[in-house]
């Protein structure tokens, strides 16, 4: 590709501020120059704010995403020897789906190269969860990642520094400039990494609800459609499921406690809601990969658990090692008898964060043992004084702030409550 012509950053800021669409060449230059340090943070901050208010037209967004992919290397997974398919979740509370899904889909004949991230705020991160396992490594060089993928059919690891480096810089800048909540910027951030990853197919789990990044269905639908379109334009077979995130997924929220629940699910003993979402995503992934298989059977007969154990061992972890346990636990009890109508996902996520399971900044440490267990879920009958939640932490001073996060999060009603299906709709190109 020819070098883009040089442009003036201030002129591009003015153009986008005033509503003019940027050309492909202008966008390629801008992303390359910012990645190389030739465009200052304050200039890119101004341009991001202009994008936040003015948006990006479809052609601009395609060029923006392609430029981010082009800012680094693109993995070649041709040597893996199986159809490649990945999944990305926009983030939720108790969302340990990847820990079950990657080995499950691999056990059905696909190769799953899952480049995952860390938690921030009330949403958890897959890498933080798996790092609760003694010895497990998130950072794998590209050659080792591909070797693990060939050997076990699945790998869950951190994206290497060479993949979409423009996104790493832009994400950090968006985080401190109030420009995170922009659908074009979210879509290009997610899809640039997934396209650079080299997977042939991708299923997006776009969460909707109080515990999700997108709290309203129309915005979630727009984000899903935007990402599906970007994937198709880049030659990646892409589909999305919109799934509910008003209630924590499963009963465990934290790091080690979510690993325990994921392993229980792989043994066929997990909560029904986690199995429902996981199997729906598995069916989508296998369909895009062109594989006819029954993921429920692979979950039931132990094949998926075997793949999980192989993957953990291949990345240095001990799947049989005891997981960290919190030193202290306190219950949150029901104030009255009745039916649990509401358990707010965001509030539970914030409580787990305050107990030490999450971070406020990317560089903050997390506690492997802290978290929340949901002892009751909406739709279940509860009695006055019954424990509804169990808060876990090593530091007892954290309990008060975690309880404060749960104020108003629990609602108990006089009648039975029927939960809505978790999968709302499917979005394709």
DSSP 334: -
State residue 271's pLDDT score. 97
Determine the 3-state secondary structure of 230 from DSSP: helix
pLDDT at 153 over 60: yes
| Active-site residue (options: 98, 188, 189, 310) | 189
The answer to whether residues 134 and 153 belong to one domain is yes
More confident residue, 360 or 209: 209
Catalytic annotation, pick one of 95, 167, 205, 273:
167
Query: Looking at the domain assignment, is residue 426 inside a domain?
Result: no
Catalytic residue among 129, 174, 251, 392: 174
- Does residue 51 surpass a pLDDT of 90? yes
Residues 210, 230: one domain? yes
Question: Where does residue 204 rank: exposed (0-12), middle (13-18), buried (19+ CB within 10 A)?
Answer: buried
**Is residue 2 predicted with pLDDT exceeding 60?**
no
Query: Average pLDDT of 22-46?
Result: 97
Tell me the per-residue pLDDT of 158-177, one tens digit each, with 9 for 90 and over. Answer: 988 899 999 999 988 998 89
Query: Percent of the chain at pLDDT above 90?
Result: 89
Rounded Cα distance between 174 and 155, Å, is 29
Whether residue 189 lies in the annotated active site: yes
CATH code of 287's domain: 3.40.1030.10
CB neighbour burial string for 367-400, b if at least 16 within 10 angstroms, e if fewer:
bbbbbbbbbbbbeeebeeeeebbbbbbbeeebbe
Grade residue 363 by pLDDT with cuts at 50, 70 and 90. confident
Judgement on whether residues 42 and 86 belong to the same structural domain of the protein:
no
Residue 122 has which token pair? 């009330």
For residue 202, how many other CB atoms are within 10 A of its CB? 27
Q: Is 398 known to be catalytic?
A: no
Lookup: tokens for 419: 């939960």
Residues 208 and 353 in one domain: no
**What percentage of the chain exceeds 70 in pLDDT?**
98
- Claim to verify: residue 131 and residue 26 sit in the same structural domain: no
- 113, 197 Cβ separation under 8 angstroms: yes
> Other CB atoms closer than 10 Å to residue 196's CB: what's the count?
25
Q: Does 62 map to a domain? A: no
The last residue of one of the domains, among 302, 321, 340, is: 321
Using 50, 70 and 90 to split pLDDT, how confident is the model at 5?
confident
Domain that holds residue 138: 78-321
Residue 169 annotated as catalytic: no
CA 295 to chain centre: 21
Judge if 160 and 185 occupy the same domain.
yes
Q: How many CB atoms lie within 10 A of CB 173?
A: 17
What number is the average pLDDT over the span 187-196? Answer: 95
Residue 126 CB-density burial (10 A; 0-12 exposed, 13-18 middle, 19+ buried):
buried
Q: What angle do CA 230, 295, 189 make, to 5 degrees?
A: 20
Cα 417 from Cα 409, distance rounded (Å): 16
pLDDT reported for residue 1: 52
Find the mean pLDDT for residues 202-229: 96
Domain boundary among 280, 302, 321: 321
Predicted confidence at residue 106, as pLDDT, reads 98
CA distance between the termini of the chain: 28
Query: Per-residue pLDDT for 118 more than 90?
Result: no
Mean pLDDT, the chain, as a whole number? Answer: 95
Our answer to whether residue 193 is catalytic in this structure is yes
- What pLDDT digit, counting tens, does each position of 252-307 carry? 999 999 999 999 999 999 999 999 999 999 999 999 999 999 999 999 999 999 99
Residue 279's pLDDT is what?
98
- Tens-place pLDDT, residues 306-352: 999 999 999 999 999 999 999 999 999 999 999 999 999 999 999 99
Number of domains in the chain: 3
Spatial distance between the Cα atoms of 37 and 94, rounded to a whole number of angstroms: 38
Tell whether 129 and 237 lie within a shared domain: yes
For residue 279, the Cα-to-chain-centroid distance in whole angstroms is 17
Q: Which of 118, 193, 194, 251 is catalytic?
A: 193
Place of tokens 């709290």: 215
Q: Are residues 303 and 367 in the same domain?
A: no
Higher pLDDT, 6 or 332: 332
pLDDT (average), residues 170-199: 92
The two structure tokens encoding residue 371: 């978290």
Of 88, 96, 169, 303, which is the active-site residue?
A: 88
The whole-angstrom separation of Cα 277 and Cα 424 is: 11
Q: Looking at the structure, do residues 119 and 225 belong to the same domain, yes or no?
A: yes
Q: Which of 1-10, 120-129, 174-183, 269-278 has the highest mean pLDDT?
A: 269-278
Q: What CATH number is attached to the domain comprising 35?
A: 1.20.970.10
- The CATH number of the domain holding residue 379 is 3.90.1170.30
């Amino acid at each position: 590709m020819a070098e883009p012509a040089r442009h003036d950053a201030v002129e591009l800021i003015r153009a986008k501020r005033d509503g003019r669409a940027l050309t492909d060449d202008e966008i390629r230059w801008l992303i390359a120059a910012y990645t190389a340090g030739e465009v200052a943070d304050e200039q890119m901050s101004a341009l991001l704010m202009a994008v936040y208010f003015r948006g990006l037209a479809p052609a601009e967004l395609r060029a923006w995403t392609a430029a981010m992919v082009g800012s680094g290397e693109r993995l070649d997974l041709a040597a893996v020897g199986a159809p490649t398919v990945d999944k990305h979740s926009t983030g939720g509370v108790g969302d340990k789906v990847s820990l079950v899904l990657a080995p499950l889909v691999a056990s059905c004949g696909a190769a799953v190269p899952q480049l995952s991230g860390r938690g921030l705020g009330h949403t958890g991160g897959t890498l933080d969860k798996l790092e609760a396992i003694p010895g497990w490594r998130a950072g794998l060089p590209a050659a080792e990642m591909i070797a693990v993928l060939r050997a076990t059919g699945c790998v869950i690891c951190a994206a290497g520094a060479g993949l979409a480096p423009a996104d790493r810089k832009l994400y950090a800048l968006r985080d401190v400039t109030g420009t995170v909540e922009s659908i074009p910027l979210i879509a290009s951030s997610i899809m640039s990494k997934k396209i650079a990853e080299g997977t042939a197919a991708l299923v997006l789990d776009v969460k909707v609800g109080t515990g999700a990044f997108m709290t309203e269905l129309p915005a979630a639908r727009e984000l899903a459609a935007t990402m599906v379109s970007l994937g198709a334009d880049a030659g990646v077979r892409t589909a999305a499921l919109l799934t509910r995130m008003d209630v924590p997924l499963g009963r465990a929220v934290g790091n080690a406690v979510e690993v325990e629940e994921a392993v229980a699910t792989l043994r066929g003993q997990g909560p029904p809601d986690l199995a429902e979402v996981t199997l729906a995503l598995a069916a989508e992934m296998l369909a895009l990969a062109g594989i006819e298989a029954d993921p429920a059977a692979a979950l039931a007969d132990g094949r998926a658990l075997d793949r999980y154990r192989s993957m953990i061992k291949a990345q240095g972890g001990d799947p049989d090692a005891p997981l960290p346990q919190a030193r202290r636990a306190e219950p949150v009890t029901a104030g009255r008898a009745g039916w649990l109508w509401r358990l707010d996902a965001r509030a539970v996520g914030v409580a787990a964060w305050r107990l030490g399971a999450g971070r406020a900044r990317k560089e903050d440490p997390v506690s492997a043992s802290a978290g929340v267990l949901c002892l009751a879920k909406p739709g279940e009958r509860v009695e006055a004084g019954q424990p509804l939640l169990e808060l876990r932490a090593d530091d007892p001073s954290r309990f008060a702030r975690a309880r404060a996060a749960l104020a108003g999060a629990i609602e108990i009603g006089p009648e039975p409550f029927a939960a809505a299906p978790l999968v709302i709709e499917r979005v394709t190109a």
